[in-house]
Amino acid sequence: MTTTTTVSNTVFIVDDDEAVRDSLRWLLEANGYRVKAYSGAEEFLNTYDADQVAVLIADVRMPGMSGLELQEELLARNAPLPIVFITGHGDVPMAVSTIKKGAVDFLEKPFNESDLRSIVARMLEQATEDAAKLQEQKSQQAILSRLTSREQQVLERIVAGRLNKQIAGDLNISIKTVEAHRANIMEKLEVTTVADLMKIALSRSEGVV
């Protein structure tokens, strides 16, 4: 199984105002962040790698694809990228609606530098935690894929609390065959207890694909 390399402490800036991009870059780089700035949403999407642990700061209103449309596109791609929107005073109600769609926060112009640092630090922490959880779920799903279809049927019944005798009846096989499948499952999943087996098995029912 291949392990994806992630780049942490990366902040993407998408804003058509060069002065705003330069100001944000200077502030964030001065605080140790790796910054990539883009003048438009399309340019950003052309280079965006969903495997990066990062945060996006985007202007709400931009020529071409707006910040809100960029958020919609990232949602459509299932991109796990926390977003902070930069807004003008009249955009605050709009910014609130973006939070309901998953944006983490918004900054009203002119934004406070201390607020920006605090929000970025919090978002990167969230992005790192989310990436770790996603990697763990992917690992567990990869482990489950080692099972044969019959072993998966047996596992489903073990998780449901069925006894070996009941599983044998469900699948019209002998108890000894159930025991053999159970042993194979434990070996393939590299677990020694039913509790560990349950933890891996239940990851499949949490919507991970």
Where are the chain's structural domains? Answer: 10-135, 146-206
Under CATH, which number does the domain 10-135 receive? 3.40.50.2300
Cβ atoms 179, 41 nearer than 8 A? no
Helix axes 113-144, 194-203, angle to 10 degrees: 110
The owner of tokens 């990066």 is 52
Q: For residue 65, give the 3-state DSSP assignment.
A: coil
Q: What is the pLDDT of residue 89?
A: 62
Q: Which CATH class is domain 146-206?
A: mainly alpha
CA distance 209 to 199: 16
pLDDT in tens, the chain (209 residues): 333 334 467 999 999 999 999 999 999 999 889 999 999 999 999 999 877 889 999 998 888 998 889 988 988 887 778 888 888 766 666 666 666 666 667 787 787 888 888 888 888 888 888 778 777 777 777 777 888 889 989 988 988 889 999 999 999 999 999 999 999 988 888 888 888 888 777 765 554 33
Question: Is the torsion defined by CA of 197, 200, 202, 205 positive or negative?
Answer: negative
Rg of the chain in Å (alpha carbons): 23
